[in-house]
Amino acid sequence: MPAYLEAILAAHRARASLDRRDLEATAEQAETGGPPRPFVDTVRRAAARHGMALIAEIKRRSPSKGDLDPGLDPARVAADYEAGGASCLSVLTDTAFFGGAPEDLAAARAACALPVLRKDFTVGGLDVCDARAMGADAVLLIVAALDNAELESLIGLARRLGLAALVEVHDSDELARAVGAGAELIGVNQRDLRTFEVDRRRARDLGAAMPPGAVAVAESGITGPDDLRRLAESGYHAALVGESLLRAEDRRAAVIELLGA
């Protein structure tokens, strides 16, 4: 596991260890919010209609790329993405490392009708409850950050709360763990978390190994229509794209151009 990911997870686990809320009571409270939007079904429908769904990401910065747009307006970005044809949103809510906040997710979701993924480093059940409470429709689970028991438990809790769980993998062993834990929505990160290099063979190879019925999402290193076409041919239903869209002067036009495939 790379040093930066270790540091992020250590910080999140340290914070989680100080959280004394009762999980069951917090889950019951989270369930009282409005119904989640159908993340997986939206991806399936868009993929069936257009060949590929786009999950467009909102983030202010990243440990590897630095500042992207620290002063962005999440509501405006969400509206631009929706107008361009994105199917879902991904919103970074980590503050210390990505400059995000739960308020970014709430503002983005209120500005559009798209289902929204809470992109953060989920290390326990309370994180899943918080995702539901802040209005998320899906939660990210990184296989490299969780043991098998944690992964299975968090997928089950997400389902109980009506959330989709995007289970992120980086290699065949992690894919096997995700499938064994019951993952339905599986993301393949093409970026090597040790070198930060993008390896497009990873998406191709793991796409061929996806179990029947799984909804496959490619992540990282996706910049143009040719990338989407290649991923669709490899069996992917969706692509999660952030940096290339966030750096565009006209984000609506950037989404339209990306979806030109």
Candidates 87, 90, 189, 234; catalytic one = 189
Candidates 59, 62, 82, 90; catalytic one = 59
List of residues 6+ apart from 20 with CB closer than 8 A: none
Candidates 219, 234, 244, 249; catalytic one = 219
Candidates 57, 82, 87, 90; catalytic one = 57
4/33 Cα distance (integer angstroms): 34
91/73 Cα distance (integer angstroms): 12
Of 168, 171, 156, 161, nearest in space to 202 by CA: 171
Contact at 8 Å (CB) between 237 and 210?
no
Candidates 62, 87, 220, 234; catalytic one = 220
Examine the residue annotation and report whether 57 is marked as an active-site residue of this protein: yes
Examine the residue annotation and report whether 119 is marked as an active-site residue of this protein: yes
Candidates 87, 119, 174, 234; catalytic one = 119
List of residues 6+ apart from 48 with CB closer than 8 A: none
Q: What angle do CA 85, 89, 92 make, to 5 degrees?
A: 145
157/149 Cα distance (integer angstroms): 12
List of residues 6+ apart from 202 with CB closer than 8 A: 170, 171, 188, 189, 190
Examine the residue annotation and report whether 220 is marked as an active-site residue of this protein: yes
108/147 Cα distance (integer angstroms): 32
Contact at 8 Å (CB) between 138 and 165?
yes
Candidates 62, 87, 168, 234; catalytic one = 168
Contact at 8 Å (CB) between 164 and 39?
yes
Structure tokens at 239: 């692509």
Examine the residue annotation and report whether 65 is marked as an active-site residue of this protein: no
The residues that are catalytic are: 57, 59, 119, 168, 189, 219-220
